[in-house]
Structure formats: C-alpha cells, structure tokens
Amino acid sequence: MEQKTATSNNVLIDPSNGFNRATRTFHSLKPPLRLPPSHATVSAPSYVLSLRRNSPWSDSVTALIDSATGRHLSYADFIRRSETLAANLTSLFTLSKNDTALVLSPNLLHVPILHFALLSLGVVVSPANPLATRSDLTRFIRLSKPTIAFATSSAANNLPNEFRHGTVLIDSPEFESLMTASRPGAKLEQVEVSQSDVAAILYSSGTTGNVKGVMLTHRNLIAMAGVYDVVRPQREKPAVFLYTVPFFHVFGFTLSLRAVVLLETVVLMERFGLRRMMEAIERFRVTHMAAVPSIMVAMMKDDLTAAYDLRSLECVSCGGAPLGKDTAAAFKTKFPKVLILQGYGLTESTAGVARTTNPEEASRSRTTGKLVSGVEAKIVNPDTGEPMFPGDQGELWLRGPSIMKGYVGDPEATLASLVDGWLRTGDLCYFDEEGFLYVVDRLKELIKYKGYQVAPAELEQVLHSHPEISDAAVIPYPDEEAGQVPMAFVVRKPQSSLGEAEIIEFVAKQVAPYKKIRRVTFVDSIPKNAVGKILRKDLNKIALERYISRL
C-alpha cells in the first residue's frame, strides 16, 4: 500500500516525493515556513534582521569584505550605516514610501547597505547593470519610473537628468558621509510597510525577448529569507561567501539578504577575473562561493587554479543557468573536496524554489534539487493544459509566497504568466519519483526537428565535454525539409584546429540521430548576460542573417 501523510488542510500527499495524485500537485517536504501574518506591517529588512538573532554569533561578525582593498565591515557597522543612511536620505532628499530608486553599481560594499536603507523606508529598489547602454536605461526608466538614481561615477554618465530627486554618486566622499554622519535634524522615523507593497523591481534577463520589470513584494523577500532560516546550517563559525554574481541580478540580490539571516561573511568583487577570484579565495579563506556554470567551466579547464591555495573552499552554489553533467563531473575530479550544490529559480520566483542541500542530493547528476519550504509545483502538458505525473515532461508551474506580484507596466505579460496564482515558468521540466526536479530546457528554445523536440542545453553539455572547446551554444537554424536543425556556435581553445566535421561527428556519437548537430559556426566568444545566460536572441539574429543571405 502506498504510504501517505496529511497536510494541514487534509490533502493527502506522497511522503516520498510530495506528489498529490488527486490534484497532481507537488508539495515541498521541507520544514514549514515561519512567516509573520500576511496582514502584519513588516518590511523585508526588519524581518531579515530579526532572523539573524537565530544565529549563534553576534553582530561583531564581519559582514562585508572588499576583496580588492581588504576593507571590511562588521554586522554592527552594517546596521548602523544603513540606519544612518536611511535617516539622511529622508532628511536631505525627502525620499518616502513608494518612491523608486534606480541603482547602477558593481558589487561595492555600499550597495547592500543602500538596499537595506531604501527598503526600510518603503522605497522601491530597482538595481540594474551599470554597463547598461543608454537605450537599455531608457527602457528601465520607462518601466520603473524612478524618482532618484544611485550610481557610480562612470555609470552616471549614461543617465538622463530627469529624476525628481537627482542622481547620487555611490563612489563619492559625500555618499560615505551619508552613511556615517547624521545630518542635523535627520531622524529615522518608523515607516509602515505592508508586506504586499512592492519592494524591488528587478529586470529579467531578456535573453530571448524584451526585458521586463519584475515586481517583488516585501512578502516575497520575507518568504525567501524564511526559507534559509528553517534550514539553517549548523557550523562552528560563520561561512565566508564569495559573490561572483552581481547584486542587480536576483541571484545576488537575494543572497545579500540570506547573508544577514545566517550572519555570513560576504567577500565582494567589484570586477570579476579568474585570477582575482583565486586570490580572494586564498587570501580570505573563502568557504563558499556563488557562481554560474561558465565560471565553473573556467575553473575546471584553466591550469591557473594550481597556483593558488583553495583548500578552504567547501562548497560552490551554482545557479543562473544549467550545469552540465560532464562539467560537474570534471569539476569534482579537479576539486574532489568541494561540494557542488545546484538550484533552480527565476527572477519571477524571487530566486531559488528548488535546490540540493546535502552531499547525497548533490551526488545525483543533473537535478536542481527538491522544492524549498512553502513552494508548490505542477508539471503541465503545454498542449492540453493538463497537470501531469512524476516522470512526465511538461511546463513547470509554481505557486507560493515568493511568486512575484507581476510585471510593472505590462498587464498583458502579467496575465499570460500568472494564472490563478500559478506562475508559468516557460521551462520544460519533470519531477522524478523521489521529488527531484530536472530542467530540460526553455520551451521557447526547443528545436523542432521533423516533429522531434531537441533541447539545446543537452547538446551544449556534450560540446562542453570536448577538450578543445572552451565554450559553445546551440540554437535552431531554419531548414526547408526539417523545419529547424541544431546549429552550434563554438569557441575553440587557443591553437586548436578543430573542424566542423569533427564536431558534428563527436556529437553524433553521443546523441540520438535526430539530435545531431547539422551546422557549426566558429566564434571568438558566446554572447552572455551578466550571470552567464546565453543571449540566444543575438545568436538567432546572426543565424537568420546567414539564412537570408543564402536565399
């Protein structure tokens, strides 16, 4: 007889995988979230700061380290600076609840302090890539309608002079003063923030289409923080976490809140470089690292790592894009004592909704783990709309307190993505019989070859396993007979003379005939966004131009 357990609302679910056969819905089997009542007026920063008291350490723990200068701040300094900054911003700029602040900065020590100060005031934080072009910024501004901008000196040059409260330079002595010296008359008043209020507008990556502004509420951030609290790791001393992911991406944005919940020490890199990363791991005895797959590929293939003492590194949390099975295996061969934890999430789900959490789960290849606390999911047949069973592939739908409010200024896109409280992810996935989630690929990116569906991610993983290929991407190429064929963009290693025929043969030996690579183009680099996701729209444009030129 199939063993069952009952949830609080008397719905029977399978304790081995969280699946309810009556509703065909997967439930998280992690400990339940301990969240404040949804009607309570509490901001994300106040809730996050309250959770830090569940840690065994005091506020004397180092919160932030600048990897370039070695400058560091304790959590006591962090809290004091964010409160002083909030009071000064209210006094000098009359910032108030529901104003929106555009933030353009690399990962500087000032940024998480600024985010906390703004969120505590009920100001909507809208971080964006400091390298964004003027046209990108025009779209960001049109979506979020900021009343003030905080930017580094170099990024400010691309900003228009149209903000009601002007532009504040984050890397200026004046900003340092705003965090450390209270202005006459400046007083931090308690702001009533509803959990349903928008806390942040984060810009989706736009790898396949137009960028959208994702509205995340204080409740969304509170739920995300609660997930980390209920599975709090037991350690003898705080983890030292190196961030290679930017604060303007949901991965980095939410990790900065997690750090306060767990009182982790965060090492920041203003500019990423493999050598600088290795130096930081060695110098600050980094125990954990947040990375995207492209960084792990670089660590695995580059001999530079041998020159540094990386023995302190215990764990790499990988996200932002799929990590190939062969890449993970090669990384483990080179760094056998480093645990690789993977996760799955979206900007629209306030980052991770599934993750691996221990060595046993991490040993399973290709899975992104099990659902985190408070999350429900279902696999929906994209053709019929019917929910499916364990082992069946379909579109992943998600529900829970971390799901976004919607897309700012885009009600049509919001209605298309949110259906009766469920978020349609657009990802082709499946759950196995033990409740582990597997991501196959983006539904919109699947290649339709003679009626067969081919996942680019699978072919990219095969290509990455070739010793003479440093990077690769696969997209659909128009074909009169087949409809579409897989086309590979390949970056060869220096001095490699690898040819198209060799690549086609290499892949053909490892995949079904309908999945074979049919075309290869050699390029110097694969276009990617700030967290390593392939910009397929750029590659599609190149492929389309080549197809049209052949007609």
Backbone angles phi, psi at 54, to 5 degrees: -80, -5
Interior angle at CA 405, CA 17 and CA 531, nearest 5: 75
The distance from CA 171 to its chain's CA centroid, rounded to whole angstroms, is 26
pLDDT of residue 1: 31
Is residue 316 within 8 A of residue 291, CB to CB? The reply is: yes
pLDDT band at 22 (very low <50, low <70, confident <90, very high): very high
Which residue in this structure is represented by tokens 């700030």? 530
Mean pLDDT of 454-461: 87
Which residue type is seen at 328? A
Average pLDDT score over residue span 337-354: 94
Whether residue 127 contacts residue 119, with contact meaning beta carbons closer than 8 Å, is answered with no
pLDDT at 4: 38
Residue 548, pLDDT score:
61
pLDDT of 10 above 60: no
Q: Which residue has the tokens 């532009």?
A: 167
Phi and psi torsions of 200, nearest 5°: -150, 150
Q: Which homologous superfamily does the CATH classification assign to the domain defined by 447-550?
A: ANL, C-terminal domain (3.30.300.30)
Nearest to 380 by CA among 372, 368, 388: 388
Task: Tell me the C-alpha distance between 103 and 88, whole Å.
Answer: 17
Q: Average pLDDT for residues 31-58, to the nearest whole number? A: 95
pLDDT band at 550 (very low <50, low <70, confident <90, very high): low
Q: What is the DSSP letter of 315?
A: E
Tokens, residue 25: 């819905």
Read off the pLDDT of residues 361-404 as tens digits, 9 standing for 90 and up: 988 888 999 999 999 999 999 889 999 999 999 999 999 999 99
Q: Which of 164-168, 355-359, 475-479 has the lowest mean pLDDT?
A: 475-479
Q: Can you give the pLDDT at residue 522?
A: 93
Closest to 222 measured CA to CA, from 370, 52, 42:
42
The residues near 37 (Cβ < 8 Å, ≥ 6 apart) are: none
CA 96 – CA 190 distance, rounded (Å) = 11
Give the whole-angstrom CA distance, residue 92 versus residue 116. Answer: 18
Q: Is 404 exposed, middle or buried (0-12, 13-18, 19+ CB in 10 A)?
A: buried
Work out the average pLDDT over 95-121: 95
pTM: predicted TM-score of the whole model, two decimal places = 0.85
Average pLDDT in the chain:
90
| Domain boundaries of the chain, sorted by first residue | 447-550
φ and ψ at residue 252, rounded to 5 degrees: -70, -40
pLDDT recorded at residue 546:
67
Furthest CA-CA distance within the chain: 75
pLDDT digit string, tens, across residues 175-203: 999 999 987 766 777 889 999 999 999 99
Give the whole-angstrom CA distance, residue 36 versus residue 208.
37
- Residue 151 pLDDT: 97
